[in-house]
Chains A and B, each alone.
Chain A
Amino acid sequence: MKLYCIAVLHKGETKVNPLASAHELSSFGYFQRSSVKEFMDFTCKIVAERTIVGSRASVKEQEYICHVYVRSDCLTGLVIADHEYPQRVAHTLINKVLEEFTGKVPKSQWPTANSSTIVYGGLADYLQKYQDPKQADSMTKIQSELDETKIILYDTIEKILEREEKLNDLVEKSEGLSMQSKAFYKTARKTNSCCVIL
């Protein structure tokens, strides 16, 4: 039961702006960590881009699930976890993070700021604290806090892409992925190995 990543982004009219993120990479191989991190950021961006404002979703891909909530003010929170991590806790965590972020970083900065210009360090703590869902909050409290917005479930990341889009192409075109990461991706796809990266 693991949490791998929490991220906050702003979903603008034309582009998505990453604002803050934290990653837990210790369960990955030493040489894969930087690529895994890049892929998580890549995934967050892709998912945020394709999620409608005001909606919640959980996107499965192999053994990972990316949970997302795009608030009506376009502030977007994402959590990447494994399939054991309870969905409701992930979404509650997103709520908490967005709330706190809103309090600390003024709205005017959201469309243009980035992690080096804003001052928000809360994500790493949340990531640690919520590794164990039972310790972070009492379960019953969590279940009642969440509003009744339906969480749309997608079986694979391909399901959220446009009809003509292919994940391979998006990976190839991505500027956020280094050559090594793209190479890792190609190798993983070829050998169909699980537990590498998204």
Chain B
Amino acid sequence: MANDSRGCRLLSDLNSAFRRDPEIDEYDFLPVPEPKHNRSPLVLQEHKLGIESWSVKILFQYAYNQLIGWRNNTPPTKFLDPTELCSLTRAILLVNADCSTAWNTRKELVDNGDLSVTEDLKFGGLVLKKHPKSPETFSHRKWLLHRFIDNCLASSIGSNTSSGSNACDRFVNMEAIDLNMDASFNGPNFDNAPDLINQPDYNELMRKEMNVCKNAADNHPCNYNAWSHRIWVLQHCFNCSLQVVYGELHSTEGWVTKHISDHSGFHYRQFLLKCLSQQAEKLSEQFLLNYRNIVQKEMYLITDLIKSYPGHEALWYHRRYVFQSLCESCDKIAMETIQPCEKSQENQQKKTKLENERQVLLMKEVDSVSNSDLAGREKYNQQLAQKYLDWIQKYCRR
């Protein structure tokens, strides 16, 4: 078939482009519906790869058919070496990032040692530039990261444990929080393993991973898949380490301020706050940070954003979460400060104290919203404010 030889040539052109420039960091399809000259449809400038659109279908179909033919063993004697498999799957995934067969083939290549984890992560990062939401790409990354963690653990078992630097993590300067500081990695799978987080390779790779998530979130509004992946990395690669979580809270503040209608960004912050709340004791013992203050600070952030940018639903929904957290945190403190006494008296005291604290919080919030947002000029914001107040009334009746 004529297209077969064209496809073969296109694939070879693509491979040359990547050989010529291993640092390609972006690619796109150029709107050229018909081949106009007898030259290659590929354009390579400043590490950006352009592929003329007429050639995309031909390239894809050729690569895809080759790969499937090989997997089905038709024709029976077909043999493809790892390099060819690598370039076939690359061509397929650049066009269709959600082709599981291609990603799974790459998993086999990694398992056989023909493709490195870092190389494949780098390629996935490139794919995400054009397909920032691709679920299969993110799913493949999780597999790769698991492999990476397993390799790290395997190579560190039997070697010396960490350099005893845990002594200094009592008083940590949280102003300069960054991932190079020591953290105790206390997940259940890592009992006898040394400080994984502090190994420079590990650290570097995970930093890059967070960056990939951030870029994908930049490239597509409300990129749920990117933010979910970011949460996954926190859970599985950092074990929700307090330092990292707090650092993330700090570093994503600027991002949500610039993306005020991005629900997923705020949802991420809600996850971070929840992590902190679950480890509130450790937060105050080891890092001298008060969870309630952190929530209060988030409240200031969200009210300030609403004041500056009225009429964005995502902000009001985040406010609900933060206010709820504030109430729960208040409840907890109220419970803790109750004087021990007789059971029935204690219960009554508890109830009254809780109610009082809640009432105060509630009234302050209702006042605040009524004065600034209900009274404001922006009609849509008024509607959102009213809905918020309705929600508060319902919520605090529970």
**A in complex with B:** yes
Interface residues of A (CB under 8 A from B): 1, 27, 29-32, 63, 83-84, 86, 132-134, 139, 180, 183-184, 186-187, 195
- Is B33 a contact of A183 with CB atoms below 8 Å? yes
- Is B259 a contact of A1 with CB atoms below 8 Å? yes
| Distance of A146 from chain B, by nearest CB (Å) | 11
Q: Say yes or no: A84-B31 contact (C-beta < 8 A), given A29-B26, A30-B26, A31-B50.
A: no
- Is B26 a contact of A84 with CB atoms below 8 Å? no
Interface string of B27-51 (1 = CB under 8 A from A): 0101111000000000101101010
Complex Cα–Cα for A29 and B31 (A): 13
- B26: chain A residues at CB < 8 Å are 29-30
- A sample of 8 cross-chain residue pairs with beta-carbon separation below 8 angstroms, ordered by A number, consists of A29-B28, A30-B26, A31-B50, A86-B308, A139-B308, A183-B31, A183-B32, A187-B31
- Is B309 a contact of A30 with CB atoms below 8 Å? no
Q: Which residue of A lies closest to B311 (CB)?
A: A86
- Is A180 a contact of B220 with CB atoms below 8 Å? no
Complex Cα–Cα for A187 and B33 (A): 9
- Is A31 a contact of B28 with CB atoms below 8 Å? yes
- Is B259 a contact of A195 with CB atoms below 8 Å? no
- B53: chain A residues at CB < 8 Å are 187
Q: Which residue of B lies closest to A138 (CB)?
A: B308
Complex Cα–Cα for A183 and B48 (A): 20
- Is B28 a contact of A83 with CB atoms below 8 Å? no
Interface residues of B in 120-169 (CB under 8 A from A): none
Complex Cα–Cα for A195 and B131 (A): 12
Interface residues of B (CB under 8 A from A): 26, 28, 30-33, 43, 45-46, 48, 50, 53, 218, 220-221, 258-261, 307-309, 312
Q: Say yes or no: A180-B308 contact (C-beta < 8 A), given A84-B259, A187-B53.
A: no
| Distance of A143 from chain B, by nearest CB (Å) | 8
Complex Cα–Cα for A134 and B304 (A): 11
Number of A-B contacts (CB under 8 A): 42
| Distance of B192 from chain A, by nearest CB (Å) | 47
- Is B28 a contact of A84 with CB atoms below 8 Å? no
- A180: chain B residues at CB < 8 Å are 30-31
| Distance of A145 from chain B, by nearest CB (Å) | 15
- Is B48 a contact of A30 with CB atoms below 8 Å? yes
Complex Cα–Cα for A40 and B31 (A): 19
Q: Which residue of B lies closest to A133 (CB)?
A: B308
- Is B260 a contact of A184 with CB atoms below 8 Å? no
Name the contact of A84 in the complex, choosing from B33, B43, B260, B307 (C-beta under 8 A).
Answer: B260
Complex Cα–Cα for A27 and B28 (A): 14
Complex Cα–Cα for A160 and B261 (A): 27
- A195: chain B residues at CB < 8 Å are 220
Complex Cα–Cα for A27 and B43 (A): 20
Q: Which of A31, A133, A180, A183 has the most CB of B within 10 A?
A: A31
- Is B28 a contact of A32 with CB atoms below 8 Å? yes
- B308: chain A residues at CB < 8 Å are 86, 133-134, 139
Excluding A27-B218, A186-B31, 18 further A-B contacts by CB distance (< 8 Å) are: A1-B260, A1-B309, A29-B26, A29-B28, A30-B26, A31-B28, A31-B48, A31-B50, A32-B28, A63-B221, A83-B261, A84-B260, A86-B309, A134-B308, A139-B307, A180-B30, A183-B32, A184-B31
Q: Which residue of B lies closest to A32 (CB)?
A: B28
| Distance of A62 from chain B, by nearest CB (Å) | 12
- B307: chain A residues at CB < 8 Å are 139
| Distance of B47 from chain A, by nearest CB (Å) | 9
| Distance of B119 from chain A, by nearest CB (Å) | 23
Complex Cα–Cα for A180 and B53 (A): 12
Complex Cα–Cα for A185 and B220 (A): 20
Complex Cα–Cα for A1 and B314 (A): 14
Q: Which residue of B lies closest to A186 (CB)?
A: B31
| Distance of A107 from chain B, by nearest CB (Å) | 35
- Is A84 a contact of B46 with CB atoms below 8 Å? no
Name the contact of B261 in the complex, choosing from A30, A84, A132, A139 (C-beta under 8 A).
Answer: A84
Complex Cα–Cα for A86 and B315 (A): 14
- A1: chain B residues at CB < 8 Å are 258-260, 309
Q: Which residue of B lies closest to A63 (CB)?
A: B221
- B261: chain A residues at CB < 8 Å are 83-84
- A27: chain B residues at CB < 8 Å are 218
Q: Which of A84, A132, A195 has the most CB of B within 10 A?
A: A84
Complex Cα–Cα for A162 and B50 (A): 38
Q: Which residue of A lies closest to B31 (CB)?
A: A183
| Distance of B23 from chain A, by nearest CB (Å) | 14
| Distance of B373 from chain A, by nearest CB (Å) | 14
| Distance of A95 from chain B, by nearest CB (Å) | 18
- A83: chain B residues at CB < 8 Å are 261
Q: Which residue of A lies closest to B132 (CB)?
A: A195
Q: Which 10 residue pairs are nearest across A and B when measured between Cβ atoms?
A: A183-B31, A30-B48, A187-B31, A31-B28, A29-B28, A31-B50, A184-B31, A1-B258, A139-B308, A84-B260
Complex Cα–Cα for A119 and B46 (A): 32
Complex Cα–Cα for A84 and B310 (A): 10
Q: Which residue of A lies closest to B32 (CB)?
A: A183
- Is A84 a contact of B309 with CB atoms below 8 Å? yes
Complex Cα–Cα for A195 and B129 (A): 13
- B218: chain A residues at CB < 8 Å are 27
